[in-house]
Amino acid sequence: MDLQTAKTKIHELRNLLNQYGYEYYVLDQPSVPDAEYDRLMQDLIALEEQFPELMSADSPTVRVGGAVLDMFEKVEHRLPMLSLANAFNEQDLRDFDRRIRQAVGDNFSYVCELKIDGLAVSLRYEEGVFVQGSTRGDGTIGEDITANLKTIKSVPLRLKEPVSIEVRGEAYMPKRSFEALNAARQERGEELFANPRNAAAGSLRQLDPKIAASRRLDIFLYGIGNPEAIDADSHSKGLDFLDRLGFKTNKERRKCPTIDEVIEYINGWVEKRPHLPYEIDGIVIKVDSLAQQEELGTTAKSPRWAIAFKFPAEEVVTTLLNIELNVGRTGVVTPTAILEPVKVAGTTVQRASLHNEDLIREKDIKIGDKVVVKKAGDIIPEVVNVLADKRTGEEVDFQMPTHCPECSSELVRLNGEVALRCINPKCPAQIREGLIHFVSRDAMNIDGLGEKVISQLFFEKLIHDVADIYQLTREQLLDLERMGEKSASNLLAAIEASKDNSLEKLLFGLGIRHVGAKAAKTLAIQFGSMNNLAAATKEELIAINEIGEKMADSIVSFFEQEEAKELIEELMACGVNMEYKGPKPLSAEESDSVFAGKTIVLTGKLEVLTRNEAKERIEALGGKVAGSVSKKTHLVIAGKDAGSKLAKAQELGVQVWDEERLLEEFNK
């Protein structure tokens, strides 16, 4: 067979296999027997092996898994993947509905969707071809798991239209796949996965894509990361558009005009939930109109136009065997219940936080009690109450200690706090927990340097503070238990890469009291460098929106400590970046552009620029690009075939430019 004939044949086979795969994995309506699909796949594999120059990244053959990866690269999401606020009962839902009505009036509707219990992912397509997939991560930065996502057969490698789009969804493990996986692991004497969600997350974070391919994962797409890329004015129409492109969306969604219909929908699924072929842990409720979503906006963590109703937690009875004490990085001593192992909401629970001494007294908890346990939000184990009528008289009262269980320093209760605290700055537990915090995902995000490795390094006296992490050698790492050459190389590379993190990551990692990830970003943007922040006065700090007096006092106190000054100097000497590297938003005062401080919407097809190019240039000039037209929109840029967004702009009297007028403004 010559090259041209092979090219034609390969193209035909790929089209056939993509169509048959779509019918089987997305529509669940196979049109050919499995044997026919397998035969065509073998023909395609043989041709691609014979003509490797015709191999393509969107070929169905890539789903079997490619080469083993060394590590996952980081991916910055173009639009943050926010988490959702939770509702746990009918009153929470009605309060949410009341807030929506106060903001946008009564003319709106909701879309309800099943909340799939899996791993949130983002898929990016350029001109209709799948080019990158990533995990949610911390919402801003995730991990590149493209190779593993390609093994999911319901993920289209090429869309039915050549659009550039970023979509969000939930990758999950169907119940059948989970049962088969655990049965195989049991046969091999391997540890079983606790639930399908953990199994799915573990599968997608395998460095060998062939392992992910063997796990038979699936996916439902539920949203669009760049809504300006499509011409739709509602979330439900956006989902319909995803269907037309060939994505798999969940067909159990329903449009509900009132909160009463939302509650009826939820109650129905509480009953039907066990009969689904996949796990769900709640219902997601969203305002349908994109313009109203834009008007409602978001908080730092979640959109105001959506909420997740969490199903009532499963409650079980077990025995409280003991109460252990843990010392956190801020010195707080937390009692933890040690339980007789019990299955709760799909996982085995052996520990539950008791928070503080007051809670133990309030619930009258004794060692040896029969207790009711649940998972708050299906995640965090919690002791609900004691079954006092089951007591035998052998139960023992628990007394909080007067001295730290780690360093024996006297514990104190600060004014206004219920927690007991160790205030010894050299307490080994606090130092160890501070090290674990420093390398965590929201802080310096050092892959491979988890809690177990940190504990080993600390107990071997190889690290005493966070600066020591940057002095570690290959020889020291190879002496650790279960640390091989490859793991040591990957860890050293991850430590080196973390030196380039932007300032906010380091600030959060330092564990300054009251300074969370969001405040760290605000401070980094405002001051630009560690030196500038260290020199800031309390008055300068509280002048910043979001920084209160308590946080300002904490920041000033931190930078006054000699130990803190020495630590920062050590980190600087190790080459750790001390500057903010992200984009600094321009205010209207800082830019003389017509876009400064304005909200702009792009619609239709641009001829000269891509949507992303136009968006980046507008934002560089101080503007904000939104995905839908609302009363807050200042300007609409309408390209070819502009649709409903242009009509909405004309209805609201919003100014409209064409691309030529936009380019004139850029060229001034």
> Which residues carry out catalysis?
115
Strands ordered across the beta sheet of 624-626 = 624-626, 599-603, 635-638, 655-657
Residue with tokens 């956006």: 238
Residue with tokens 């130990």: 563
Angle at 521 between CA 599 and CA 138, to 5 degrees: 90
d(C-alpha 573, C-alpha 466), whole Å: 13
d(C-alpha 513, C-alpha 225), whole Å: 34
* CA distances to 5, 50, 172 from 37, in Å: 21, 20, 24
Residue type, 524: A
117 burial type by CB count under 10 A (0-12 exposed, 13-18 middle, 19+ buried)? buried
Would strands 624-626 and 655-657 be described as parallel, antiparallel, or unpaired? unpaired
- CB under 8 Å to 313, separation ≥6 — which residues? 345, 374, 375, 376, 377, 378
Phi-psi region of 127 (alpha: psi -120 to 50; beta: other; left: phi over 0): left
- CB under 8 Å to 82, separation ≥6 — which residues? 139, 298, 301, 302, 303
Q: Which of 237, 288, 243, 315 is nearest to 110 (CA)?
A: 288
Residue with tokens 């193209």: 11
